Amino acid sequence: MEEKLNLNEIVKIEQMPKVFEQLELIGEFIDNQLKDLDKLECTEDNKQEVKNRRTEISNTLNLLEDKRKEIKNKINEPYENFNKKYEETTKTKLQNAYKVLTDKINKIEDEQKQVKKNKIESYFKEYCEFLKIDFVKFEQLNLNITLSISDKKLQEQTKEFLDKVNDDLALIDSQEHKEEILIEYKKNLNVSLAITTVVNRYKELEELKKKEEEKQAQKDIEIENVQKIGKILNAPTKEVIEADREEIYEMTFKVRASKLKLKELKNYLENEGYDYE
C-alpha cells in the first residue's frame, strides 16, 4: 500500500450549500412573521384570531418537518449506498487481513508462553522436591506468565511462594495440634486461618466437655439427695420401737432436685402413706 489515498475526495455533497441558503431565507421570513408576536395580547374578542395564528404556525412547522425528513432521507440514501460499497471494497478486506495476522501472532506468542510456562513449572517441581513439599499445585501460584516478564522474575516469584509455604510448615510443626492444623492448611495455604480454626475447634470441644461434666455433677447431686431422703424416710423412728402407741411427729426439711425427681419423691411419699405439705 505504497500509494496514498486522498480521503477528502471520496464523497462530495454539492447540494448542501443550496439547502443552507434556502433555510436562511425561510428563517428570515419566519423572523418577520413572528417579530410582533410578543406584543400580541390575547383577549376574549381576539382569542379566535390568536388560535388561528397558532394553527398557522403549527402548520408551517409540520410542513418544514416533513421537508426535513425528506431531505434527511435523500442525504442518507447516497451515504448508505456509499457505506455498503465501502465495507465491501475496503473495510471488510482490511478487517479480515488484520484478523489473519493477529491469529498468526497469537499462535506464535502462545507457543512462546507455553515454553516459558514449561520452564518455570519444571523449576517449581525441582524446588518442591528440594523442600520436600508434595501437596502444593503449580496452579496455586497464580503466576501471570507473559512474554514481557523474564524467566528470572518468574523463578523469584515461585521461590518466594514456596519459601513461605516452607516457613508456614515450620510454624505448624511447633503447634500443639499440628496434624489437624496441617489438614486445614492444605485447603487454602492460609496458616493463620488454619491455626485459628483448629484452636477454636478445641475451645468449643472443651466448653462442651465442661458443660457435660457440670450437667453430670448436678445429676449426681440430685441422685445423692434423693437417696439420703429415702434413707431418712425408711429409717425406724424411736416411737415405733419403744411404744405400742403411735404418735405423730413432724420433720421439716427442704428438697432440691429436678422436676422429675421431685415428682418421684412425691409419689413415694403418697404411696407410703406419709402426710406432707
In the chain, where the domains are located: 62-174
Condensed to tens digits (0 to 9), the pLDDT of residues 221-253 reads 888 777 777 776 666 555 544 544 556 666 676
HSE at residue 177, side-chain half, CA atoms within 13 A, is: 15
Condensed to tens digits (0 to 9), the pLDDT of residues 152-207 reads 999 999 999 999 999 999 999 999 999 999 999 999 999 999 999 999 999 999 89
pTM of the model: 0.54
The number of beta carbons lying within 10 Å of the beta carbon of residue 78 is 11
Buried-exposed string 140-152: b where 16+ CB fall within 10 A, e elsewhere: ebebebeeeeeee
CA 254 to CA 186: how far, in whole Å? 59
